[in-house]
Chain A
Amino acid sequence: MIYSSIGYYSLIFGLTISFPIFFFSIRNFKNEETLDYKIITFSFLQLFLVVLSFLGLIFSFIYSDFSNETVFNNSHTTKPLFYKISGTWGNHEGSLLLWLLVLTLFIFLFLIKSKYLLKKYRILTVLFQQTIIIGFFVFLIKSSNPFNYIFPIPDEGLGLNPILQDPALAIHPPVLYLGYVGSSIIFSSVLAATTLNYISRTWAMHIKKWVLISWVFLTLGILLGSIWAYYELGWGGFWFWDPVENVSLMPWLALTTLLHCISVLEKRSILSSWTIILSITTFTLSMCGTFLVRSGILNSVHTFANDPERGLFILTFLFVLIFIALFIFFVFHKSDNKSSDSFFLLSKETSILINNWFMMYFLSVVLIGTVYPIFLDVISSQKISVGPPFYHKLIIPFLIPFLIFMALGPQLKWIKSGIEKKLHLVVLFIISLLISFFIVKNLEINFLVNTVLIGSAFYLFFMTIRDFFLKGFKNIHQNLAHFGFSLLILSILFNNIFSKELIINLKVGESFKNERFKISFNDLKRFEKKNYISFKGNFSIIENEIEDELEPELRVYNQPNIITSEADIKTTLFTDKFITMNSVQNEKYFNIRYQVKPFMFWIWISVLLISLGGLISLFKKKYEK
């Protein structure tokens, strides 16, 4: 009770703090030379109130205060403490409060960290960010209040969906949100800079930090979501092209492109239009993601709420922001005329520009695949769903030139490079193709595409390894990220090509044998746990004379009453053995699904390497010129 009230009133006070911030910012904008300290003080106060409100919700969850509707809907007294806390952001209301928390946190950090920049620019950024913050405050209080009171007070809550009770998923939303919401600072800042015609190298150096922060968090957030899908959903895949996954991938693509544009802007003062448009796009896509997930317009595992009123609010707010951004871009932005004629064909910026276009292509594919079903439904009432084949067909062929440019780009110099002493590039490419040829030769897959695709992935792989030795710590961040990417593509390809799968029905004591494996179902045990009953099967699998014991599990949760299937996965350096079991209705038989998935471990490692590249870039000293 008391925690909900504290939370609710802090939220209201937090909103009212926006008015003094607006007032002092506008007054300060015209008058003094330096930034009025009151703006920082009030921003801090607002942050403090939102933190208080968030703590209020966390404590309501910890003490299982079921007079709070959000707690009632998403928690239960028998739930472990860790999931009570993570339940705070595992639902619509709480996760929006988290959005707001990150929004206020980031603008406060921005104010502290931007001391040496133009005063007017800092104030305008605050104003744009406050517009977004007010929007979210109003949205929270009006249509998604996390502190709604219910009467009569229920004795027990409805519980958190058991498939969401997973450590990776508990920290997935906060990490992802840091990435999503981090793009709001980029958005506000780019609007401020455009208005003041302040898009410059100094600005690029400063905003690059924020781009990197959002990018690292977004990458890690997507990784955590993938790991969760792999371990918990029990389908043995890590990426399903589910609309909600796409919605996190789209800002990532835009942000990655933006990161490269900012580097060019920082070094060469060109590509400013690209930078502005991409900054706007990234945030718009993040907001659009929120809209698509929260409005119930899409249906997926992530859908929290089917509430058109909420959808309408976000939609309107989103388009208001888009139109403000467009207006500012067209009125204030003066495109740099020199950009068109200062590109030399063989230069770093050209290769970045080419890959930008590829990235934009990938982005459009994902965007169309996600949004097109909605358009079709509205226009012709046809319902379709777009699955993996669509994305694979459209994306895979274009990965080939993309990978090659990614390998070549870093070898070129800024402004202009020659083609002398570039023989090794060709030699390496031929070696990569040969290796790929010997791998693909004996397999029954599409020969040409796979040889070239794996070849170009190897090419990037070898190029980056060569650079580790030749260049050492120079540009290590970029090299590491590119190396990670080549490793990612290789792991995904090999994972796809060498995966094996077996689906059978077995009962206790039976075994199954084919030319490759022997699977025996030895035992089934029952355990009582705090909030579920577990049935653990014991299987032994013999493959190539190596025996493994695997113990998949069925969990029958009591609140809400849901059965989940926990995969047992034996991870080794090069393959994962993945087994799940499911009950067949009213029979002694269990449906067993056994998969051998090579290189899974390397998929996770490579994404970690990619984000590590970002982290190093964030913390590196400015020793480069």
Chain B
Amino acid sequence: MRNSIIYFLIVIFFIFVFVIFYKGLSNSNLYTPTTNKKSIPEFVSETLIKKKSLNSKDIFNQKKFYLLNIWASWCVPCKDEHPFLINLSKNKKIEIIGLNYKDNLNNAEKFINELGNPYSTILLDKEGIKAIEWGAFGVPETFLIYENKIIKRYIGPLNLQLVDEIKNYIK
């Protein structure tokens, strides 16, 4: 009789420990991208070329279209979409902001020097944290922004069709 009470108490105790650990798990830094994020996150970031710190509020402040493009020099599809971005950057109605994701700075600079710079500003995201704040899935990914709202997101590389779609938006 006494033994079964002890047994019972121990089992209860372990179930309690299990529940606590289980709850503790869901407290931890669980990250799933939310696709329906509408407003842009606030952040402060270093920039690649001019090496200064920028606040997100100072970047998207004008009343025009912005394109935020997450890229990296090691990402092969980023190379493929690069000509489209160069093309878009000639359009005065839109400003393209780059977010350099988990990259080596020298490689990133080399990438820009070789392939041209479509970006008005390149923000740095060495740990990949800002990309998480944006709710990004990976590289490349592009956000179309107007008045601090995300209008459209493009997961994966841009192509001719998608560039036409963007051009339609900013007409």
Contacts and interface: CB of A to CB of B under 8 A. Distances in A.
Interface in A299-349: 306, 308, 311-312, 315, 319, 322-323, 326, 330
A378 B18 contact: no
A501 interface: no
A297 B22 CA distance: 10
Nearest to B23: A378
Residue picked from B7, B21, B23, B28, most chain A C-beta under 10 Å: B21
Interface in A329-388: 330, 374-375, 377-379
Contact of B14 (A152, A155, A308, A322): A322
B24 A559 contact: no
B3 A330 contact: yes
Contacts of A311: 25, 28
Interface string B13-49: 0100010111111111111000000000000000000
Interface residues of B, number: 28
A154 B72 CA distance: 10
A308 B126 contact: no
B129 interface: no
B24 A377 contact: yes
A153 interface: yes
Given A315-B22, A375-B20, A154 B28 contact: no
B28 A156 contact: no
A306 B30 CA distance: 7
B76 interface: yes
B75 A152 contact: yes
Contacts of A312: 22, 25
B25 A561 contact: no
B104 A559 contact: yes
A378 B21 CA distance: 8
A590 B68 CA distance: 39
A297 B29 CA distance: 8
Contacts of B84: none
B103 to A, nearest CB: 9
B59 interface: no
Interface of B: 3, 7, 10-11, 14, 18, 20-31, 74-77, 102, 104-107, 126
Interface of A: 152-156, 158, 291, 295-297, 306, 308, 311-312, 315, 319, 322-323, 326, 330, 374-375, 377-379, 558-561
20 contacts: A152-B75, A152-B76, A154-B74, A155-B74, A155-B76, A156-B74, A156-B104, A158-B102, A297-B27, A306-B29, A308-B30, A311-B28, A312-B25, A315-B25, A319-B18, A330-B7, A374-B20, A377-B27, A378-B20, A558-B106
